[in-house]
Structures are given as structure tokens and as C-alpha cells.
Amino acid sequence: MSESRESKIRARLEARFTPVELQIRDQSHMHAGHAGAADGRGHFAVTIVSSEFAGTNRVQRHQMVYDALRALLESDIHALRIKALTPDER
Amino acid sequence: MDVNDRIRQQLDEHSVLLYMKGTPDFPQCGFSGQTVAALKAVGKPFAYVNIFEDPEVREGLKAYSNWPTFPQLYVNGELVGGCDIVVEMYHSGELQELLAPVEHPA
């Protein structure tokens, strides 16, 4: 069995951000049948807490997460909800 | 005019501009729909581009903004964010504050 999409996302985020907290939820079932789901890529929601986000604004945090997942955005991820916090903001 | 010039021109012409899937009346994606709902709740005028009707801008904007998904909201030429950020800002009141100076039709 191939590596699940969720574990691919997890591996990349852990390598890039060494998060103190990381939750990944596969919400693809909530979108089955709509146009964006037709190519088989999934909908995911990520909550990530990492000191790497210190001193950055919301747009930059999302860009950092997108950067870490760039290759997967082409192949596995159609949509991504992101909540990115520093440990202090939790 | 290359695609970056077209994007810059669109952003120059519209102080509040939403790049979205579908139209405000018929959004074709839940995230675009939620973002429109937040903007409508604030009640200020906004312009939109339906990226399904402009594949060149759709691809070009991902690189322009280093932001690979839609919707994307811009205010005064600056990327505010996608659905998560816009909805969060609506609930915290930041979106209302950001759009408060907008008076003339976008």
C-alpha cells in the first residue's frame, strides 16, 4: 500500500517546521462529488504550532506551509485549510 | 501585455479585488463562497475576477503572489489572504477595520 496522503503531508511539515503540535484532518469526504474533487486530490485541514512562525504575519505563515507542501499541491492536495500558530499563541 | 502586467493593472484599478472560482452570486467552490459571504457581510463594494474565465491569470497569480490556491483577496494591491484568513479577520473585526476606508465603488 502506498504511503497515505496524510502521512506525506505530515512528513513534510515535520521536516520543515519541527512542530510542537500538528493535526492533519482529511476532509475529502465533505467535498466528494464537487468539481474540485474530480481529479482525486484531497481536501485537508492542518493545525500546526511551531516556533518557526515567530515574527511572521498570517500571509507569510500560509506561504511557508504552502512552500513546504509545494510538490503535494500538484499531486495530492486540492484544498488546504491552515491554522498556523506559534507556541505562545496557543 | 504579459500576465504580471495584467494582474498589476487589475490590482491598480480595484482597491478591493477578489480572485475567485465563479462569481459572487454563483460561487463554484465553498471557500470562494465563504469569502464572498464575509465580504458581503461587511457591506463594502468589491470587484472580482472569475479565474475559471481567465486561465492565464489563474496560473500567473499563483506565482505572482506565491499563493497556490483560490480565493485570494487583495486590498490596495496587497494580498490579504485566502478563505481561512478572510473569515478569521471577519470574526475578529479586522476585516471591517481594513475595509472601513473603502468608500467609492471598487
CATH number of the domain within which A44 lies: 3.30.300.90
DSSP state of A34: S
Q: Do B98 and B46 form a contact (C-beta atoms < 8 A)? A: no
B68 to A73: CB separation less than 8 angstroms, yes or no: yes
Q: What is the pLDDT of residues A41-55, one digit of tens each?
A: 788 999 999 999 999
Q: Give the dihedral of Cα atoms B43, B49, B50, B54; nearest 10 deg.
A: 180
Distance CA(B51)–CA(B54), nearest Å, equals 5
Check pLDDT > 60 for residue B57: yes
Q: Mean pLDDT in chain B?
A: 94
Structural domains of chain B, with CATH: 3-99 (3.40.30.10)
If one counts the domains in chain A, the total is 1
Q: What is the mean pLDDT of residues B15-30?
A: 96
State whether residue B84 sits within 8 Å of chain A by CB.
Answer: yes
Per-residue model confidence (pLDDT) at position B56: 96
Whether chain A has a CB inside 8 Å of the CB on B86: the answer is: no
* A82 sits in which H/E element: strand A77-85
ipTM: 0.82
Interchain CB distance below 8 Å, A66 and B82: no
For residue A59, what are the domain limits? Answer: 5-89
Q: In the predicted model, is pLDDT for residue A35 greater than 90?
A: no
Helices (H) and strands (E) in chain A, counts: 3, 3
Q: State residue B89's pLDDT score.
A: 96
Q: What is the C-alpha to C-alpha distance for residues A40 and A43, in angstroms, rounded to an integer?
A: 10
Categorize the per-residue pLDDT at A38 as very low, low, confident or very high, splitting at 50, 70 and 90: low
Q: How far apart are CA B43 and CA B52, in angstroms?
A: 25
B-chain CB neighbours of A81 within 8 Å are 83-84
Whether the predicted model's global pTM rises above the 0.90 cut: no
